[in-house]
Amino acid sequence: MLEHVELFFKSIFVDNMVFAYFLGMCSYLAVSKKVSTAVGLGAAVIFVLTVTVPLNWFLDQYILQPGALAWLDGNRATPELSAYADYDLSFLSFILFIATIATMVQLVEIIVEKFSPSLYNSLGIFLPLIAVNCAILGGSLFMQSREIETAGLALNYGFSSGIGWFLAIVAIAAIREKIRYSNVPAPLRGLGITFIITGLMAIGFMSFGGMLTGGDDAAPSLEGQPEKVGLQLEESIETETAQAAVISE
């Protein structure tokens, strides 16, 4: 339970898709002129992430990982006994993940067009373009590289990353509505000022950087002990050479 709560807050605030990784920028910048449209796109992203990350988790677990195909001859629990133990299909990750995502985006498009034609029109090309939104593919790839353990956690991760992205786009849309009548210098009008706002917002979001991750490694220390670090390095090199010697023998 605790790990669910931790993952939830971590993916919304600490590892925010926009402010920590700057993913999904194109639709974030283009569809953030009005709050109502931003809410629509944000909700679509939440939906797509929530569905695709767990789906891709299953793909990863049962097809892509090294040894994941072991279930084919009934050796899921003991993959090293399986005839498929050496199969590593992870080079197919991108294609399979994108296929899932594109399917889901098609689904969302059909649903939105059916139920809210006005939102469908205002989102325009950016709705189908969610398929190539880096935040969505990023969600699946982070899920893979961080080795999220259960399908439940993967579902949680997709949903909360989506919420993080949703918050980001709604906040910037509100700010852009507020500064619509500001006397921004001409060269910066439009995208320029939006980039600057995004950077400043990321400063605000840095309040969560290091939270929950412990932060012990992040804290800058004035009194390092260089002589000890050197010793440790030597030790580790020595042990490594010793191990190498053992292996070569």
Binding residues for other proteins (CB under 8 A)? 35, 170-171, 174-175, 177-179, 182-185, 188, 193, 196-197, 199-201, 203-212, 214-216, 218-220, 222
The number of beta carbons lying within 10 Å of the beta carbon of residue 100 is: 19
The C-alpha atoms of residue 167 and residue 186 are separated, in whole angstroms, by: 29
Report the alpha-carbon distance of residue 123 to residue 37 in Å, rounded: 7
> Closer to other proteins at the Cβ: 146 or 180?
180
Residue 146 or 189: which CB sits closer to other proteins?
A: 189
Listed in sequence order, the residues at least 6 apart from 158 whose beta carbon sits closer than 8 Å to its beta carbon are: 49, 50, 51, 52, 53, 54, 139, 143
Supply the minimum distance, in Å, between the C-beta of residue 95 and other proteins.
38
Q: Is the dihedral of CA 130, 97, 205, 224 positive or negative?
A: negative
* Minimum CB distance to other proteins smaller for 77 or for 218: 218
Min separation Cβ 193 and other proteins, Å = 6
Q: At closest approach, how far in Å is the CB of 5 from other proteins?
A: 13
HSE (side-chain half, CA atoms, 13 Å) at 106: 6
Q: State the minimum distance, in angstroms, from the CB of residue 142 to other proteins.
A: 22
Q: Are 195 and 203 in contact (CB under 8 A)?
A: no
**Least Cβ distance, residue 92 to other proteins (angstroms):** 39
Tokens linked to 145: 């590289």
Written as six digits, the tokens of 87 are: 């199969």
Is the Cβ of residue 136 or residue 173 nearer to other proteins in the bound state? Answer: 173
- Nearer of residues 98 and 184 to other proteins, judged by Cβ: 184
Cβ distance 38 to 180 under 8 Å? no
CB nearer to other proteins: give 102 or 174: 174
Least distance from C-beta 11 to other proteins, angstroms?
16
Tell me which amino acid residue 139 is. G
Tokens of 154: 């993967």
